[in-house]
Amino acid sequence: MITDPIMHVQAWLDEAVETEVNDANAMSLATVDEDDMPNVRIVLLKEIAPEGFYFYTNRNSAKGQELHAHAKAAICLHWKSLRRQIRVRGLISLAPEDKSDSYFASRHPTSQLGSYTSQQSAPLGSYEQFEQECAETKARLGDPQQYPRPKHWGGYILSPLSIEFWEEKQFRLHTRRVFTRTNLDSTWESTLLYP
């Protein structure tokens, strides 16, 4: 019996880490743009906490702008090795600055440098141009063991209002259970769904 669906996501993720070849924490993140056109991409789930699901990105990117304009999103984790999927929908908020600082500090200095240089989602003339800009940024900032986090880069929390657990069964008679709540302070309700 699942009593805490957020922590049940953690339990499934822990199992997936043992079976998935690459990036068990990779998830699809769905947003909508200013024209209400959907957008989806893969990002990495970096932390699961009682308040929700943490991920990090360039806040000036298309996804960052979409999350700012529409503070709602959906994520989907799918593990072929386990024949399981989790869908989550909820509200978006900025991660605390200290969490963003801490995660940024854990990244390789070259990744940190890329975060300074990349104008994520903007047109780029050539990859060589990006490499040249990285070299210029490195010359300007120096070559420390780590760079401070740029202000345009940070974390988000998806605080769930809906979490659905899906498990594959033979002949497509899958099991689906969704947990929903009306707001972040209300209790979870559990419903079994037809496949």
Q: What is the CATH number of the domain that holds 26?
A: 2.30.110.10
Q: Can you give the pLDDT at residue 57?
A: 96
The mean per-residue pLDDT over the stretch 164-173 comes to: 93
35: domain range?
5-106+154-193
The mean per-residue pLDDT over the stretch 159-169 comes to: 97
Q: Can you give the pLDDT at residue 60?
A: 96
The SS3 of residue 3 is: coil
CB count in 10 Å sphere of residue 69: 11
The mean per-residue pLDDT over the stretch 169-190 comes to: 95
The SS3 of residue 140 is: helix
* pTM, two decimal places: 0.93
Q: Which residues on neighbouring strands pair with residue 180, listed in sequence order?
A: 162, 189
Strand pairing report for 52-58 and 26-32: unpaired
| In a domain? residue 41 | yes
Q: Can you give the pLDDT at residue 46?
A: 98
| In a domain? residue 158 | yes
| In a domain? residue 72 | yes
Domain count, the chain: 1
pLDDT averaged over every residue in the chain:
95
| In a domain? residue 115 | no
Is residue 3 over pLDDT 80? yes
Compute the distance between CA of residue 23 and CA of residue 130 in angstroms, rounded to an integer: 26
Predicted confidence (pLDDT) per residue in 90-126, tens digit = 999 999 999 999 999 999 998 998 998 998 888 999 9
Compute the distance between CA of residue 192 and CA of residue 120 in angstroms, rounded to an integer: 40
Structure tokens belonging to residue 40: 């989806």
Predicted confidence (pLDDT) per residue in 18-75, tens digit = 999 899 999 999 999 999 999 999 999 999 999 999 999 999 999 999 999 999 999 9
Task: With CA atoms as reference, report the closest residue to 168 among 86, 83, 80.
Answer: 83
| In a domain? residue 142 | no
Q: Can you give the pLDDT at residue 155?
A: 98
Predicted confidence (pLDDT) per residue in 65-98, tens digit = 999 999 999 999 999 999 999 999 999 999 999 9
| In a domain? residue 59 | yes
CB count in 10 Å sphere of residue 98: 8
Q: Can you give the pLDDT at residue 29?
A: 99
Predicted confidence (pLDDT) per residue in 131-144, tens digit = 999 999 889 888 77
